[in-house]
Amino acid sequence: QVRLVESGGGLVQPGGSLRLSCAASGFTLDGYAIGWFRQAPGKEREGVSCSSSSDGSTDYAESVKGRFAISRDNAKNTVYLQMNSLKPEDTAVYYCAADPHVDYGKGFIAHEYDYWGQGTQVTVSS
């Protein structure tokens, strides 16, 4: 059974850091495109970061560039999202997603991905 499980969310003060994990089971993440998305209350789900299945290239939303970093640990079949210098506007439920093929330039389009985790809450507040 294909499954993605996120963890690592929580409450953090502005300027703090969190590392989200996305553990895969039932398939091997290596060779899959990975996306991290987030959804704040009353807002649409938005792409935050993605990693290509072909060459491992990464991309980031403008709002998180220089603060967030996506990485993979193939040995652990896990993807991470390191989030630094967190801001209150980063508060959202964060989801990881995977798909064996995502067209170039569409890494931030949610319907490109077949597999989704259940989400983990990130709250940035003092």
* pLDDT single digits (tens) 60-101: 999 999 999 999 999 999 999 999 999 999 999 999 999 999
User: Please, are residues 93 and 7 in contact by the beta-carbon 8 Å criterion?
Assistant: no
Please report, for residues 23, 35, 83, the alpha-carbon distance to residue 98 in angstroms, rounded to integers and kept in the order given. 11, 6, 20
pLDDT band at 105 (very low <50, low <70, confident <90, very high): confident
Chain centroid to CA 30: 15
The pLDDT value given to residue 107: 93
Q: Which residue has the tokens 């991905």?
A: 113
pLDDT band at 31 (very low <50, low <70, confident <90, very high): confident
**Helix (H) and strand (E) counts in the chain:** 0, 11
Backbone angles phi, psi at 112, to 5 degrees: -75, -15
User: Of residues 80 and 2, which shows the higher confidence score?
Assistant: 80
Bridge partners of residue 37, in order along the sequence: 47, 95
Average pLDDT value for residue range 4-18: 98
